[in-house]
Amino acid sequence: MQSTIEFFKPSIQENTQKYIDDVLSFSDNRKVEKLENAVKKLIGCDNALATTSGTAGLHLAMCALDFKRGDKVICSINVFPSVPQAVRHFDAEPIFVDIEDKEYNLDLRALETALEKNKSKKLKAIILNHMAGNIVDLDAVYELASRYKVKVIEDASNAMGAKYKGNYIGNTGADITVFSFAPHLCNSTVNGGVLICKDKATHERAELLAFHGMQNRHCDAFGSVNYIYDVVDIGWKYDLSQIEAAYCLAEFEALEASIARRREIAKIYSEELAGVDHVNLPEISDDSVVSQYIVEIDKNRDHFVGQLKNEGVNISVHYMPLHLTEYYKQKYSMKVFDYSVALGCFQRVMSLPMYAALTDAEVKRVCEAIKKVANAHV
């Protein structure tokens, strides 16, 4: 019996074990600093703050921007729950916007309508996500943000290493960009995120709040805090551990190779699945980081997924539109067809296995399973 091809598996890079051993042997306790410096060097930004997760980074971004009760924040209806839940923890209000049906990103016409409709002093920010690593038209978003005097936070969980007009995401003009080393995983091998702030004052505010609002603190080689310090605000504990930083640093150093491998996998999928009945393929640009490979099934998607599972192939769906989830449906009295584009896409899409550790043979197995299921699909 063939083994199951998982939707995702974490990678173990060439330096992963060495970097972890460095921390455990106390020979190098600077992995967090090295990770932050590596991010700054690649992205070309002045500030980078490692956090315990991408979700922690999102919450910390909103803390640094001083969100308050009743503030309004615009985001896509088609995002992971971490985005609006961070907003709700301030008792602020997410304003959901429908998506476009090609790359599943926030619809910019709907965004402009929402900005105009909610124009007030309470309207604070736009939170962007880049589905499957496909970058939103950032010039258009930044122009809208400037016109309506709101901040831009980019949830770049799916876009680490991506570029927009020659600049890396994180250095394109957003007020804050958040990356994740374990995007949207539960029971993950490691968690970690990075927060990039455009201006120094916001970075310093985030840095303060990331460790209990504590000023004048100094840590020794083993993490002990000196006993003379001051607490100047209510903060959190969002600082990344050295062990997790060791893993994340090895991952970040392998980023270019991982992206290259994902592009190779996407090319195989696109070639092998071209013309397969019932399966519509994405358009993959040459510079895409291909964090997901999302196909559409023309009918009976759930049955198709079930049959693939019987063939030993696990897939996922990105994402459940939030107006279909109990909390947001009840909280904001949303109806099923309120976000018709997101609903239609959700009923068709499925994401294929996409990670650097996949072998060519495994990718071909996925393709053969899809062809087999498609041939019998009604």
Domain 16-253 has CATH 3.40.640.10: yes
Cβ(310)–Cβ(374) below 8 Å: no
Query: Which residue type does 120 have?
Result: S
For residue 184, what pLDDT band results from cuts at 50, 70 and 90? low
**pLDDT tens per residue, range 123-169:** 999 999 999 999 999 999 999 999 999 999 999 999 999 999 999 99
**pLDDT tens per residue, range 227-252:** 788 899 999 999 999 999 999 999 99
Higher pLDDT, 330 or 224: 330
| Domain ranges across the chain | 16-253, 255-376
Indicate the DSSP class of residue 328.
H
pLDDT at 197: 98
For residue 217, what pLDDT band results from cuts at 50, 70 and 90? confident
Task: Report whether pLDDT(378) > 70.
Answer: no
For residue 257, what pLDDT band results from cuts at 50, 70 and 90? very high
Residues 33-55, mean pLDDT to the nearest whole number: 97
Task: Report whether pLDDT(225) > 80.
Answer: no
- Average pLDDT value for the chain: 94
Q: Which backbone phi and psi does 136 adopt, to 5 degrees?
A: -65, 155
pLDDT at 215: 86
pLDDT at 163: 97
Task: Report whether pLDDT(222) > 80.
Answer: no
Cβ(145)–Cβ(126) below 8 Å: yes
CATH superfamily assigned to domain 255-376:
Aspartate Aminotransferase, domain 1 (3.90.1150.10)
Higher pLDDT, 83 or 219: 83
Task: Report whether pLDDT(84) > 80.
Answer: yes
How far is it, in rounded angstroms, from Cα 46 to Cα 41?
9
CA distances from 39 to 106, 129, 166, 195, 249 (A): 27, 19, 17, 10, 9
| pTM, rounded to two decimals | 0.94
- pLDDT over 90 for what percent of the chain? 89
